[in-house]
Amino acid sequence: MDRCLRCNAEVLIVPSATSGTSMTLDAKPTSGVRVFQRYGIEVVDYSGDTHTMTEPEMVAEVVYVYTGHDTTCHAATSRAARD
C-alpha cells in the first residue's frame, strides 16, 4: 500500500481512465447511493407471468466510491500544495 508523502495516510495510486495520469485516492472507499432510470425491466407478477415494463422505473443502488486524497489530506493547505 502506498502512503501520502505529506500526512502518511494510506492511499491508492491509479491511472485515470480518461487521461492516463496518476490519481491519488483515499485507500478506504465510502458508500453512496446511485439513482437512475431503468427501461425494459422484466417483472414477474403473482400469477407467474412475465411482463416487460415499458415505462421508466427509478432504481437506487448502493455503490462504493473512492475520494481523491487531495481533498481529504489535512497536510495540504492550499490547492498549489495539493498538486
Provide the residue ranges of all domains of the chain, joining segments of one domain with +.
1-29+66-83, 30-64
Which three three-digit cell numbers place residue 57? 422505473
Q: Which of 32, 51, 33 is nearest to 41 (CA)?
A: 51
CB contact at 8 A, 29 and 66: yes
Report pLDDT for 2.
Answer: 95
In whole angstroms, what is the distance from residue 60 CA to residue 67 CA? Answer: 21
**Element containing residue 62 per DSSP (H, E):** strand 57-65
The reported pLDDT for the residue numbered 81 is: 47
Give the pLDDT confidence of 43-83 residue by residue, as tens digits: 677 777 776 766 777 888 899 999 999 899 988 765 544 45
Question: In whole numbers, what is the pLDDT of the chain averaged over residues?
Answer: 83
Match 481529504 to its residue by C-alpha cell: 72
pLDDT, position 56: 76
